[in-house]
Amino acid sequence: MTREDLEQARIKMYEKLDLAKPILIVSGSIAAVLIIIAILNMMDVVDISLRSGETPIKRGINFIVFAMLVIMGPYGFYMQKKLKEVAAIEGRLPDFLRDVAEAGRFGMTLADAIVVASSGRYGRLTAEIEKMAAQIQWGVPASEALKLFNERVKTPMVSRVVSIIIKSSDAGGDVADVLTMVSHDAKETQLTEYERSIAMSTYIAVIYISFFVFLVTIAIINATFLPKMLEASESLTTSGEGSGGAVDSPLASDLPNIVESIKLAFFLAAIIHAVGDGLLAGVLDNGRVISGFRHSFLMLLIGFSILSFI
């Protein structure tokens, strides 16, 4: 093994393991099995139900919901955890750039300034700075170490900052002044993003409240109005038989099936609302549809539990 291969192996040892794809593959495999079971239930080939008396369509929809939960839950919460880690790294990025700029004003090169700054403490960013410093000490150029840092973190802010620093270093300008300007710009961007997230949190709360109001409305209709309709139908049928006459109304005779269809329609509406509202909440939160997976998971789980069991 050559020295370059050894250095590349050491660099890879420092790279963070990304579990997004394995989680998505495992979740997708389980979801595929659940969807197959859902199709078999709808075709009435198998009878796997949560409660007795469920129709084939209802049994199939239950397993489709399980498949959606399996897909959105693990992947959504993992991606949210990853986004929080990235946000923690970006939060201390301006401080690191400022310290590198100060070291550069003492005549240090960009590589030396990064190594010196690695002795500081920048929260979650500290580990990434130490990786860059280790790579530079192993002989990796500063520009290449910055590119590897960008590949590990993969955020728009880091990509913009790294691109500016590399171009400034290659052009031979005063890197310290450029780093100071970039530090100020990154800080202003973070403040703007924080203010936007505070403003959007109100709309996210409105989405949750409207969804719960929708669920409560459906629960009240299921608990009060629909049973009264069935009681009225039974009373009408009983009175008709007692008086010696037959109840010819198709509506009265088919009312139980109509009530079940109404309940199924409510159930489907709750599922659509949960998924759609959750994705919208994620977009409002940070502009990412993936962030809405955890919101959809929570809404879907709560809505399914209320309408199926409570």
**Mean pLDDT for the chain?**
82
Using the predicted structure, report yes or no on whether residue 212 has a pLDDT greater than 80. yes
Distance in angstroms (rounded) separating the CA atoms of residues 230 and 137: 79
Q: Is residue 211 within 8 Å of residue 299, measured between CB atoms? A: yes
Distance in angstroms (rounded) separating the CA atoms of residues 174 and 103: 12
The closest alpha carbon to 77, from 303, 281, 277, 291, belongs to: 291
pLDDT digits (tens, 9 = 90+) for 77-105: 998 888 888 788 788 888 888 888 888 77
pLDDT at 236: 64
pLDDT at 36: 95
pLDDT at 2: 52
pLDDT digits (tens, 9 = 90+) for 124-183: 788 888 888 888 888 888 888 888 888 877 777 888 888 888 887 777 666 778 888 888
CA angle 72, 76, 82 (to 5 degrees): 160
Between residues 18 and 260, the one the model is more confident about: 260
Compute the 3-state secondary structure of the chain and give helix, strand, coil in percent, each to the nearest 5.
80, 0, 20
